[in-house]
């Protein structure tokens, strides 16, 4: 079951990050302003964030497998529909703003259903693991996500072939989603061990309950700010590279793929390499990750395109450590009854971090080119200083469920 969840995470990451890697070039082809290109993903992320609390009680009743499949359906519909919207825009049947509206609406379908799938996946992992095993499982899924972000930007430009052109990546990703959906009927259980307990307890903690918990909320707050910094990097690096390279958007696409692939490899090395090799604790992952992300962003503020790519890779290594670190810390700090609420909060963080931060950073970028890196560096530095100022032993995060 866990290997299949990793495969689903891998395939959807290929599509989502692959689409992110080609959207700056597609946006320039359609003459859509840069901040609106970032806004497309922000609208989807807002839908993701707003809808995530809605799924908590429903996952307990219907079981996680149903909602993981629903997320895959949303992924396929979104990718296929976005391909159609881009084609209509390129043919001038739709004006740029209308193309933006259609694209944003279709991406919101995935935001709505994808949040259900992410919450269900996190809850399923929490139900079947504990302690260090859960930390490794969460890091493993994060590694699958990072591996997908390596493959996505690498293959997306290759799929922009005649006669499909920019439609190629989206149609190819929709096909991958359809294959994963078919596989879900063979590999996912009809129900999970947590389903009966969750559905029989009407007083199970909600997402807001766990966020207000002093033991858990601290890690969720860390995650929200950290993921916002990463979103700023991820959704602006394409524009940075295009503007630092003289040939223009089409020629820069290969460099965007190189930078995003390097960042994903760095995160994968952190999650599948360093965490397992050194058996790092969640708090160590958080501290070290925040420090490296801060250093990477500071470096990327200076120099040319290769400096930006190298700084992005170093920051991605840091995020690759810190993101599974805060997820594992929050999960281990909660009881069995709190796991679905914690999963919902982590899902909300993934969406909320992509709403306003990339748009604001893109707007700041128009006035000062180093702005996205400076903002992300400041966030990571503040997180590190706050974490060091309030020491807590790693053992304190593990809730005694025995």
Q: How far apart are the first and last CA of the chain?
A: 25
Q: Do the beta carbons of residue 286 and residue 319 sit within 8 Å?
A: no
- Asked if residue 380 lies in contact with residue 314, where contact means CB atoms within 8 angstroms, the answer is no
Q: Convert the pLDDT of each residue in 199-235 to its tens digit.
A: 445 566 777 888 988 889 999 999 999 999 999 998 8
Q: What does the mean pLDDT of the chain come to?
A: 82
User: Pick from 28, 32, 25: which is nearest to 159 by CA?
Assistant: 25
pLDDT at 397: 53
According to the model, what pLDDT value does residue 197 have? 42
Candidates 399, 386, 152; CA nearest to 257 is: 152
Most confident by average pLDDT, 186-195, 304-313, 345-354: 304-313
Cα–Cα distance for residue pair 347/17, rounded to 1 Å: 17
Checking if the pLDDT of 175 tops 80, the result is: yes
Say what the pLDDT of residue 392 is. Answer: 53
Q: How many other CB atoms are found less than 10 A from the CB of residue 50?
A: 16
**pLDDT for the residue 401:** 37
What region does 98 belong to: left with phi over 0, alpha with psi -120 to 50, or beta? alpha
Between 72-86, 169-183, 342-356, 375-389, the lowest mean confidence (pLDDT) is in 342-356
Q: What pLDDT shows up at residue 48?
A: 81
pLDDT above 50 for 193: no
pLDDT of 3: 78
Please tell me the distance from the alpha carbon of residue 312 to that of residue 372, in angstroms, as a whole number.
Answer: 11
The pair of three-digit structure tokens given for residue 73, joined into one six-digit string: 């359906």
Higher pLDDT, 119 or 205: 119
**Is 60 exceeded by the pLDDT of residue 249?**
no
For residues 100 and 40, what is the distance between their CA atoms, to the nearest angstrom? Answer: 7
Higher pLDDT, 395 or 161: 161
| Burial class of residue 217, CB neighbours in 10 A (0-12, 13-18, 19+) | middle
252-288 residue pLDDT tens: 777 887 888 888 889 888 887 887 778 788 989 999 9
- State yes or no: cis peptide before 21, omega within 30 of 0: no
More reliable by pLDDT, 258 or 401: 258
- Model confidence pLDDT, tens digit, residues 26-68: 888 888 877 777 777 778 878 887 887 787 767 767 778 888 8
Please name the residues in contact with 4: beta carbons below 8 A apart, sequence gap of 6 or more: 183, 184, 187, 188
What digits encode the pLDDT tens for the residues 85-110? 888 888 889 888 888 888 888 888 88
């Amino acid at each position: 079951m866990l290997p299949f969840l990793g495969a689903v995470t891998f395939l959807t990451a290929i599509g989502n990050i692959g689409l992110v890697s080609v959207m700056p070039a597609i946006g320039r082809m359609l003459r859509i302003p840069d901040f609106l290109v970032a806004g497309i993903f922000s609208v989807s992320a807002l839908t993701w964030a707003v809808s995530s609390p809605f799924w908590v009680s429903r996952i307990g009743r219907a079981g996680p497998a149903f909602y993981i499949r629903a997320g895959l359906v949303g992924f396929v519909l979104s990718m296929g529909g976005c391909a159609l919207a881009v084609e209509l825009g390129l043919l001038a049947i739709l004006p740029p703003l209308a193309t933006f509206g259609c694209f944003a609406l279709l991406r919101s379908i995935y935001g709505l259903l994808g949040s259900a799938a992410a919450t269900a996946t996190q809850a399923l992992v929490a139900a079947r693991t504990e302690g260090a095993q859960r930390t490794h499982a969460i890091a493993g899924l994060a590694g699958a996500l990072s591996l997908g972000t390596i493959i996505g930007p690498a293959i997306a430009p290759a799929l922009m072939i005649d006669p499909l052109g920019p439609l190629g990546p989206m149609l190819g990703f929709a096909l991958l989603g359809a294959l994963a959906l078919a596989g879900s009927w063979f590999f996912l259980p009809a129900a999970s061990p947590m389903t009966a307990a969750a559905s029989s307890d009407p007083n199970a903690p909600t997402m807001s309950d766990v966020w207000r918990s002093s033991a858990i909320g601290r890690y969720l707050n860390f995650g929200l700010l950290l993921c916002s910094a990463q979103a700023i990097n991820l959704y602006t690096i394409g524009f940075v590279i295009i503007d630092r390279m003289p040939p223009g958007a089409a020629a820069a696409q290969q460099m965007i793929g190189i930078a995003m692939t390097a960042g994903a490899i760095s995160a994968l090395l952190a999650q599948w390499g360093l965490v397992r090799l050194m058996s790092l604790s969640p708090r160590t992952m958080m501290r070290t990750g925040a420090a490296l992300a801060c250093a990477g962003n500071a470096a990327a503020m200076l120099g040319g395109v290769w400096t930006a790519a190298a700084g992005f890779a170093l920051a991605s290594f840091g995020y690759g450590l810190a993101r599974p670190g805060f997820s594992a810390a929050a999960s281990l700090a909660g009881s069995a009854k709190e796991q679905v609420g914690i999963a919902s909060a982590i899902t909300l963080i993934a969406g909320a971090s992509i709403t306003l931060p990339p748009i604001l950073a893109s707007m700041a970028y128009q006035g000062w080119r180093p702005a996205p890196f400076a903002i992300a560096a400041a966030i990571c530095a503040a997180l590190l200083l706050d974490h060091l100022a309030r020491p807590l032993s790693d053992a304190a995060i593990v809730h005694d469920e025995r």
